[in-house]
Structure 1
């Protein structure tokens, strides 16, 4: 009887996984021309409910090894004291650097800087939820596309070890969490 219940539980779990994957793939539609934008998440101390995801194609269909490219998800997330900032598919806050340039997109963080501030490299499809899709782009970094938002190259901070942290905010008065419209996040009220 216990064996039968275990098998039924495994079967139910497998069926749930397939159903979730099928539902998720229905929202993953590539687009080579940016169009409408998803609504920005409201600024509050609680994570906002996800809005419908949209996606943008940033490059070729496969990585250099020939494997299918992995989609990157950008989400607007409300952070206490900062309002809405952009996080990646793991919930890690993304940052912009004041020494970089947005028009045209240029990166200046290199060498030892990239050990602390990790460039956000993308392979193909970037899905968004609450992020201004039309502002996404890339800049070439050593032959790889680094994601930009509002022209600003994006980075992850090595000091953020868990989802939702903003330990890089205001570092050296030059590093700031990026908002869904590409602006630097500033403390709110």
Structure 2
């Protein structure tokens, strides 16, 4: 039984390492393009409800065919994904035009919010959403700021990345630093 678990853990580790290496294939932030409105790629529709948080950190890309949900958490007004995981902006990124600067080792800690299909919103104006091209994928932006998840947030509602290195901040529905 234990050798079986070791093999499964090894395979999972190798797959994770491969995926992280694929995400890190380019560190040239100057190759980004201006943000394109999310609504031009797919319709943005209101979300009905948020789903419970996963037991493990969120991944960088949703499964094919899944929509990304962006919502505003209750009293603190912090922007989260549909699982209640806090979203962050990086002070070194530039909102106008959108540019991402987090690359290499940075994206192993700060996971870009990649969109493939539609984006649903609740409490966030869809006109503030857009995308920036990142290594052949589309990273979601809010008010021009590329969005990230923090691997140190392992449950919904956590804001462990707030203020990290004086550069990482939660966002409000307007895109302002939280």
Residue from 50, 70, 75 that aligns with 2:66: 70
Q: What is the TM-score with the length of structure 2 in the denominator? A: 0.65
Runs of 4+ in 1 over 6 A off after TM superposition: none
Q: CA RMSD in A?
A: 2.6
Residue from 92, 95, 102 that aligns with 1:99: 92
1:80-119 equivalent positions in 2, closer than 5 A: 83-119=76-112
Distance 2:81 2:99 in 1: 21
Summarize the Cα distance change of 1:31–1:155 in structure 2 as closer, same or farther, 3 Å threshold: closer
Report whether the alignment pairs 1:173 with 2:166.
yes
Q: Answer with 1 or 2: which has the greater Rg.
A: 1
Q: Give the SS at the match of 2:73.
A: strand
1:1-189 equivalent positions in 2, closer than 5 A: 32=40, 53=47, 69-78=65-74, 83-185=76-178
Distance 1:68 1:93 in 2: 22
Distance 1:31 1:137 in 2: 8
